[in-house]
Structures are given as C-alpha cells and as structure tokens.
Amino acid sequence: MNTPNPTDHPDLTGAAAHAGAAHLIEQSLGHLYSAALRTAALHHLADHLAGGPRTAAELARLTGTDAVFLRRCLRYLASCEVFREDDNGAFHLTPTAQFLRAGVPGSLRDAVLMLTDEIFVRSSSALDETIRTGAPGFAKVFGAPFFEYLQGAPKTRELFDSGMAAFSEPINDLVASAYPFPERGTVVDVGGGRGGLLRHILLRHPGLSGVLLDQAAAVQDHVLDTAELSGRWRAEPGDFFTAVPAGGDVYVLKHVLHDWDDASAVRILTACRHGLAPDGKVLVVDSVPVPGNAPHPGKALDVAMMTVVTGKERGPKELDDLFSRAGLRRTRILPTPTFASIVEAVAG
C-alpha cells in the first residue's frame, strides 16, 4: 500500500481547524446515531410519547429498559433534534420523531428498522473491501448476493419488503400527483413490491387501470384490494428481466434500477420497451444526484447501494446511456419535493 508523503504542513491548531476536527469526530460516531434511532424504533419510544411528555424513568417502566441508560440515549437523540428534553427532564416528540411512530400515515419506523438492520450495517462495515474490489461487501459478509440471500431468509425478506414500503410511502402520492398521467390507459408498476405507488396512482386517476409486477413473495401482500380500486387492477408474479405485461401505456420503475448494474438495468428497460403501447412512456423514479459538492440524499444512498447490491444512483448522463442501449430516449426529468425524481423516457 502506498502511503502519501505530503510536502506541505497545514496549520491544524487554529479555531477553524478545531471546529473541523470536532466535526470529523462527530461524523466518525455516526454509527451510534443509527444505533440510537434503531433503539428508539424497537422500543416504541415515539409511540409512548404520543400522549404527552414523559421522563426517562417513566419510559423505562413502560419499555422494560434501564432508566439511566435510556436517558443517556434519549439525551443524545434530543441533541440531534429527534426528541426534545425540557427543564423538568421530560422528553417530548419533535416533528422528526413523529415519523418513528408505528401505524400512522407516513410512518418511517419500518424503514428505520430496515436501514439500521445488520444487512446494511454489516455490509457498510466492509466498505473498504467494496472500494478495493469493486464488488458489494454484502456477499462476503452474508455468503450470497443480496437478492439471493433474501430468497432463503423469509424474516429478512419480510423486513425488507415492509421497510421498502415505508421508505417509499412518503413519495408515492407526490409521484402520483407530480406526473401528468393519461386519463385512460394501463399503468404497469414494474418491481412494485406491495403496490403502494400503483394504489396512489389509481386513486388519483380514476380512468386508469393497473398491473402490479414483482416476485410472488412481494405481490402476495399487495395493498390494492380496496373498494375504490375494485376491478381496476391485477397482480402478476414475474421476472422483469425477461418480460413484463404487454400493452402498458406507462411503465413505472420506482427504486428498481438503482438495485442493479448497468447490464441488468438495460435488460429491465428493454423488457419495458418491448411491452410499450404506441406513444407509451417509461418512468424511472429514483434519486438523481446533482453534480458538485452540494449535499444530496442520493449521494449517501449511492454509497449504501454499492455496499449491498451491484446498482447505483445515476445522474442524467448515466441514465441516458442506459436508455440508449435499451432503445429508449429521455424526454424530461421532473423533480418532486422528496429526494426522488421522475425521469421520463419514450421509445426511440
């Protein structure tokens, strides 16, 4: 291993340098923030605070935890604006903590439990190996590629499906309302999991029908069987690498392409192009990172992707290359109020 030997010696003693040092140390402890969030989610701390503030001792009695240690964890989360401690030592919900509540609209509790599970934590700990080899660390840690591993681990698969549903739910209605879907026609939700996005699209656009395509384990727990959608949908187990239901006017790929390497992504897009009705559209809903040094959620998600799967978060030029290889052409990118954008493509 080559060790750099810089010739310059920056001044690391000034006030600005000390601020940078403090920031670096704080960021190095970021894994503890994830662990604290997971602890709060597992013990339903936000749910116990939904009725009003409680002290750590009161929460400890409700959760069967140690009051002293729980308070230390809560104090840390309060410093991160997840909870708020008042002058009497009672902890309150903040707007952020509301998302940790279970069973409320927009809850991210299942997403937090997924993202802080060992499938991500242990994979990220092998990031140095990922960088060295150019391959996800997940397979080395768990003994099989991510999606192959899920097939033999039903509890983890259930965690992943419920976590992805929660992760996606906040953007589903925003996507359904941000894109000008046609008044009539068929929307095919490719790799749509339980169908959360398709449900929002059909509810907002009563003239449309829909098809949910995913593996059998995902579609069997779909969320489409409601009175408002009666007779307007069907769920099909299948393999989007080989074929998708034909004749769709809009094919939606939400959080699908970012799971796969370029060659696999081209196969998925090619299957969609072959299924397109005349004048049909393909919509890729993913994070599209912006260039430069500005913060963007897609940049963190991109690193997460590289440790777990072979995919990545792609910028416009990278997406254009995939579309071209699949016989498609990008027509526009529509931002949403969330981290995801809607990238539209047509045949040609």
Q: Which are the catalytic amino acids?
A: 258
- Give dist(CA 2, CA 320) in Å, integer: 37
Q: Using alpha carbons, select from 84, 82, 90 the residue that is nearest to residue 54.
A: 90
Give the Cβ contact number of residue 2 at 10 Å: 4
Q: Taking a C-beta distance cutoff of 8 angstroms, is the pair 253, 285 a contact? A: yes
DSSP letter at 261 equals: -
Judging by DSSP bridges, how do beta strands 208-214 and 185-190 pair with one another?
A: parallel
Sheet holding 83-85, edge to edge: 54-55, 90-93, 83-85
Q: Taking a C-beta distance cutoff of 8 angstroms, is the pair 120, 308 a contact? A: yes
- Give dist(CA 264, CA 206) in Å, integer: 34
302 residue type, one letter = D
SS3 10: coil
SS3 71: helix
Give the Cβ contact number of residue 158 at 10 Å: 13
Q: Taking a C-beta distance cutoff of 8 angstroms, is the pair 56, 146 a contact? A: no
